[in-house]
Amino acid sequence: MNTRNQTLLDKIWDPHVVSDLGGGYQLLHVDRHLLHDLGGPMSLRAIEKRDLKVRNPNLTFAVPDHCVSTAPNRDENSTELGRRLIPTLRSRCEVEGITYFDIHDKEQGIVHVVGPELGLTVPGVTLVCGDSHTCTHGAFGALAWGIGTSEVNHVLATQCVIEKKPGKLRITFTGKAPLGVTAKDMILYVIGKHGATLGIGCGVEFAGDAVQSLSMEERMTLCNLSIELGSKIGQISPDDTTYEYVKDREFGPVGKHWDLALKYWQSLPSGPAARFDREIQIETPEIAPQITWGTSPEHTIGINDAVPDPNDAPDSTTAAAWRAALDYIGLSPNQPIKGTPIQRVFIGSCTNSRLSDLQAAADIARRGQVAETVTAWVVPGSQRVKREAESLGLHKIFKTAGFEWREPGCSQCVATNSEYVAPFERCVSTSNRNFVGRQGPDARTHLASPAMAAFAAITGVISDIREIT
């Protein structure tokens, strides 16, 4: 095979095929399997019940994130679900010989933040987890995607997954991002422009100078929202930025293995004549800071745009969806979104809870006070992020400004741990989904970047980060 024609996805997929099952399905080896507290206990129990063993416990890692409380001084009993699930995860991991980072471990955190921090996520690996935001790990040039419970059971028992090779989509961001425009704005813009179905059935590769100039943390944000574009796989070809990040991580290759690995990784980027089924070009300089107005990530507009009018919708199905979304979110057609009062701000989640996200938010927080009408939370993505942020004094900046500084976990992104946004409260959130009920029953979510969220906390209304003085 001429590797000039091969994409990053091809170069990882093809050598991972253990056997061809016919009809397009293949049995793929899984190099890294991550478990969390919501799905892990059930799957480990299912394996036990069937009298099976975890086939390769050394390739499996577990950490609680979904069900943990993020309140200061929390423990596993702080939430009912944690009390029910965490002891099972801990004991089954011990029996099976799976490396487990407990709730008080210095490496605990959101599974998609912790994997890269520990060097579990490196270029060229196949990585799966029972969580749809596993696409985050593709930022390293890994082949990573979310799987369902039965598939998790299958991976535990066989270290393989049955999959069909997806189509290939490339999204190329050309030019430079304007001031105030982050990786979050770039991906929300694409979803807003091309819709939440653009990538269905495809693995998406993000490319172009505006992507190459992103840091690893920004790349993770970009890939994290691939699933909201319809692609369960999102990737970026590895480069020096990638290698620099993964070097000297606890579970990454060292010594002669590093040299061997690096040589292999350098062969992975999509070739100059790589063939994609579909190509999309994005002019990055045209992107404004983005915010969602509705109940799908495709309901995204620029901060200075007006809320869409269902009468202007392209078809009747879309018009109906827009009407339902406006009804739920409590906004009127054609009103400017800027200036809409809010009650909540959530800075966290596997999308935007890493050190640079918190630094961006803190840079805004240091300039003011959280509005009296707003409750604002900062939930670091991991214990490591929390430690590093505290060593820089970010926690003091947040606390002084009136933000709550909390413990690591998924928290209000998915509200598994009962940390809800109250009914009808409006929340600017750095998370990834503005679905109906996602942050709690009747909660109204507006997705945005960390700086936009922090600025909204201070002004008490949805605001344009470029207008900060």
Partner 1 sequence: MQKLETILSTAVPIMNANIDTDVITPMNRMTSRSEKPLSYFAFEPLRYLDGDADAGELNPDFPLNQDKYRGARIMICGENFGCGSSRESAPAVIAGLGFRCIIGSSFGDIFFNNCFQQGILPIQLNLETVNRLKSIAETGAELCVDLQKQEIVMPDDDIFQFHINALRRKSLLEGLDDIGITMQQDNLISDWQDKDRKLRPWIYFESAP
Find the binding residues for partner 1 in span 242-281 (CB under 8 A).
251-258, 260-261, 264
Residues 132-191 that bind partner 1 (CB under 8 A): 132, 134, 145-151, 153-154, 157-160, 162, 164, 166
Supply the minimum distance, in Å, between the C-beta of residue 396 and partner 1.
33
Among 40, 64, 124, 180, binds partner 1 (CB under 8 A): 124
What are the beta bridge partners of residue 61?
Answer: 34, 99
Chain positions 341 to 400 lying near partner 1, rule: CB under 8 A, are none
Q: What are phi and psi of 193, to 5 degrees?
A: -80, -40
Q: Is 313 in the site for partner 1 (CB under 8 A)?
A: no
Shortest gap between Cβ of 47 and partner 1 (angstroms)? 9
18 contributes a contact to partner 1 by CB under 8 A: yes
For residue 88, the minimal CB distance to partner 1 (Å) is: 15
Q: Which is nearer to partner 1, 180 or 203 (CB)?
A: 203
CA dihedral angle for residue 416, residue 217, residue 3, residue 209, rounded to 10 degrees: 130
Two tokens, residue 95: 């029996």
Q: Which of 116, 356, 109 is nearest to 215 (CA)?
A: 356
Of the candidate residues 10, 65, 218, 298, the single one contacting partner 1 (CB under 8 A): 298
Radius of gyration (C-alpha) of the chain in whole angstroms: 21
Written as six digits, the tokens of 42 are 């059930």
Q: Which stretch binds partner 1 (CB under 8 A): 271-279, 317-325, 390-398, 457-465?
A: 317-325
Count interface residues toward partner 1 (CB under 8 A): 79
Compare residues 66 and 386 and give the one whose CB is closer to partner 1: 66
- Residues 6 or more apart whose CB falls under 8 angstroms from that of 443 comprise 415, 420, 421, 422, 423, 424, 425, 427, 437
Cβ neighbors of 374 (< 8 A, separation 6 or more) are 342, 343, 344, 345, 456, 457, 460
Binding flags for partner 1, 393-432, as an x/- string (CB under 8 A): ---------------------xxx-x-x------------
| 263 closest CA partner among 253, 276, 250 | 253
Which of 1, 2, 23, 240 is in the footprint of partner 1 by CB under 8 A? 23
| Helices of type H across 208-347 | 209-212, 216-224, 240-246, 255-265, 316-329
Q: Is 314 in the site for partner 1 (CB under 8 A)?
A: no
Order of all β-strands in the sheet with 202-207: 233-235, 202-207, 167-174, 278-283
Please report, as residue ranges, which positions from 323 to 342 form the binding site for partner 1 (by CB under 8 A): 324
Instruction: Please state the φ and ψ torsions of residue 203, each to the nearest 5 degrees.
Output: -95, 135
Closest approach of partner 1 to the CB of residue 288, in Å: 24
Task: Answer whether 207's CB lies under 8 Å from 171's CB.
Answer: yes
The binder of partner 1 chosen from 296, 375, 383, 463 (CB under 8 A): 296
Site for partner 1 in 39-98 (CB under 8 A): 50, 52, 55, 58-59, 67, 81
Instruction: Say how many Å lie between the first and final Cα of the chain, rounded.
Output: 56
Q: Does 31 bind partner 1 (CB under 8 A)?
A: yes
- Give which of 43, 82, 44, 83 is closest to 64, Cα–Cα: 82
Asked if residue 3 binds partner 1 (CB under 8 A), the reply is no
Among 33, 395, 433, 444, binds partner 1 (CB under 8 A): 433
CB 111, min distance to partner 1, A: 12
